[in-house]
Structure formats: structure tokens, C-alpha cells
């Protein structure tokens, strides 16, 4: 590969451009595995795509049966896996400048030789900067979708999740339900005890919601004291049972309020997704059910029935 810095500054502009063109062609067409790996990895910030590229390039040098990668990014687990494992493995904790960027494990039926392990380490050294950038990109994206107080998804994340859930419900015909949950008389807590106490209750509420749900369910802070819960493969009655369970979990919260501990109750509205229904329509029906719960005296659950 030509070194651009070696081009004499007093050469003509056409000569410099020609040398640049040749250098680019040499770089683009090189058979050097490390240069090719770096070039391919630089084309994407998708961590999944980068790991696929790494697996493709690595298997040409060191055959393996499976590659597994795991990393926790912005409170979420990222897992990538390809192939089927064997009894022998080598594992690497990827780090750069004191920061961890996940664990990568290779499996195969035969033991890895020392030369192969050295080759793997060299390829990982060439990939780590790109993997770091992809991890940081995910973290930035997640920050934009995360409520800073509670650490759960925010309104933007809910909007995107409703779009995906609506599409999946229509495509597969599986039931999806939405719960809107609002803390009752929350303004009085802020007025009487201050926003620090109020914020603490909101954070505790988010914790209780996540603890009361399945791993497949997702929780969002929809408004000031309003939360949304998306439930895949859940019909109306099942969603109502979940809503009643989370209301009980919220009611168990105890916060120091001076002479007596502060408690809070919640009202819930439930709506199951209808065929070909737009996300905003689905959300509006859940909101209407929540309004009915509050009109009924609060601390209860109401369902917007899909069949009148």
C-alpha cells in the first residue's frame, strides 16, 4: 500500500491526484486480512453487523463452530450468537483504555492451538476500536430513549415500541395489550412533601413495575406520573390481572414522610390491540380506559373492551 505522506509536495496536482487514486485502489483491493477487516468494520455502526463481519473474517483464519458475544449496554443486555458450540472454547473480555466492551467466546470441537489463539487476539485487537464505537453508539441511542429519573423508556421509546408492537400484532395475529398506569393524587405529594420525595416515589414505582412483570414486558414513563406497560402475547383478561398485580405492587411502596410513611395508589387503563389499528388509536383507547378508572374513584382498573 502506498504511503500518502511520501508524495512529494512539489509534485503537480494531477500527479498527486493520480497517486491518491492508486493508493485508494490499493487499499480497497488489498488482500491483507487486517486491512480488509478494518475496512469492512468501518462501514457500519451496527454492533450486530460488526460481529457478523468479524465472524466471517475470523473463520477464514481460525475455524470455529460458534461465536457468542454478550455485553450490557445502557441497562440492556446485548447478545449475539452464531453457530453451534463445541467442548473447547476460548474467551476474551474486550477492553480498551480501561473500559469494558463485552465478552466474546469461541467454541469448537478441537482444541485451539497457540498459533490460532494468537491469530484471534490479533484480529480482536484490530476490531476493538470499531466495537467500542458501536457500543457507544448504542449507549447514545439508548440515552435518547431513556427517562433520566427512572431509567426506563421515555415517551419517544414508547412511540417506537407501539409502532413495532402494532406491526407484529397484525403480522402474526398474536394478542398484545397496553396498560396505562397513573399515580393517584400525585400532585398532593409534590405540594406537601416536595419534588425530591415525589421523584423518589416515581423511581420506586418504576422499580416495582419492572419487578412485577415478565422479561418480555416493557415499561415506559409516559408522562409526569403516568406509566405505560406493553404486554406481548397477552389478552384483555390477562392484562387486567397484570394491571391489578402492579397496582398492588405500587400500593406496597413505603417512603419516609415524617410521622407516618407515605403510600401511593394507582389507576390503570387496559386496551388490547385491534387488527389494523394505528398506534395512536390503541393508545387513545387505553387512555380512555384510564379516564374511566379515575372517574370510578381511582385505585382500580378499567378495560376498554375490544368487543362491544
Catalytic residues: 225
Decide the pairing of beta strands 66-73 and 88-96. unpaired
Cell matching residue 105:
467466546
Cell matching residue 271:
386496551
Secondary structure of 8-57 in the HEC alphabet?
A: CCCCCHHHHHHHHHHHHHHHHHCCCHHHHHHHHHCCCCCHHHHHHHHHHH
Please tell me whether residue 7 adopts helix, strand or coil conformation.
Answer: coil
Taking the mean position of all CA atoms in its chain, how far away is CA 45? Answer: 15
Q: What one-character DSSP code corresponds to residue 273?
A: P
Cell matching residue 145:
430513549
User: Phi then psi for 269, rounded to 5 degrees?
Assistant: -120, 135
CA dist 45 → 88, 120, 132, 303 (Å): 31, 22, 10, 42
Cell matching residue 154:
421515555
Which is nearest to 123 in space by CA: 232, 37, 252, 9?
37
Amino acid at each position: 500500500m502506498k504511503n500518502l505522506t511520501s508524495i512529494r509536495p512539489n509534485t503537480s496536482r494531477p500527479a498527486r491526484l493520480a497517486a491518491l487514486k492508486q493508493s485508494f485502489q490499493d487499499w480497497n483491493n488489498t488482500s491483507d486480512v487486517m486491512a480488509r477487516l478494518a475496512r469492512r468494520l468501518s462501514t457500519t455502526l451496527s454492533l450486530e453487523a460488526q460481529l457478523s463481519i468479524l465472524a466471517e473474517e475470523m473463520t477464514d483464519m481460525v475455524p470455529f463452530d460458534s461465536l457468542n458475544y454478550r455485553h450490557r449496554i445502557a441497562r440492556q443486555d446485548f447478545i449475539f450468537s452464531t453457530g453451534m458450540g463445541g467442548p473447547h472454547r476460548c474467551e476474551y473480555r474486550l477492553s480498551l483504555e480501561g473500559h469494558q466492551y463485552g465478552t466474546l467466546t469461541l467454541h469448537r470441537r478441537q482444541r485451539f492451538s497457540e498459533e490460532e489463539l494468537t491469530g484471534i487476539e490479533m484480529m480482536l485487537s484490530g476490531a476493538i476500536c470499531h466495537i467500542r464505537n458501536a457500543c457507544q453508539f448504542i449507549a447514545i441511542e439508548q440515552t435518547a430513549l431513556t427517562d433520566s429519573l427512572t431509567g426506563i423508556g421515555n415517551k419517544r421509546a414508547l412511540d417506537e415500541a407501539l409502532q413495532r408492537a402494532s406491526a407484529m400484532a397484525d403480522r402474526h395475529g398474536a394478542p398484545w395489550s397496553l396498560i396505562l398506569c397513573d399515580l393517584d393524587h400525585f400532585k398532593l405529594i409534590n405540594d406537601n412533601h416536595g419534588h425530591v420525595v415525589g421523584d423518589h416515589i416515581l423511581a420506586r414505582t418504576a422499580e416495582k413495575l419492572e419487578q412485577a412483570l415478565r422479561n418480555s414486558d416493557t415499561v415506559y414513563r409516559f408522562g409526569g406520573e403516568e406509566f405505560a406497560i406493553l404486554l406481548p402475547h397477552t389478552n384483555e383478561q390477562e392484562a387486567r390481572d397484570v394491571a391489578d398485580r402492579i397496582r398492588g405492587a405500587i400500593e406496597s411502596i413505603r417512603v419516609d414522610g415524617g410521622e407516618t410513611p407515605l403510600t401511593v395508589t394507582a389507576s390503570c387503563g387496559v386496551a388490547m390491540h385491534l387488527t389494523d389499528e394505528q398506534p395512536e388509536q390503541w393508545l387513545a383507547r387505553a387512555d380512555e380506559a384510564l379516564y374511566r378508572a379515575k372517574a370510578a374513584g381511582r385505585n382500580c382498573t378499567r378495560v376498554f373492551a375490544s368487543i362491544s
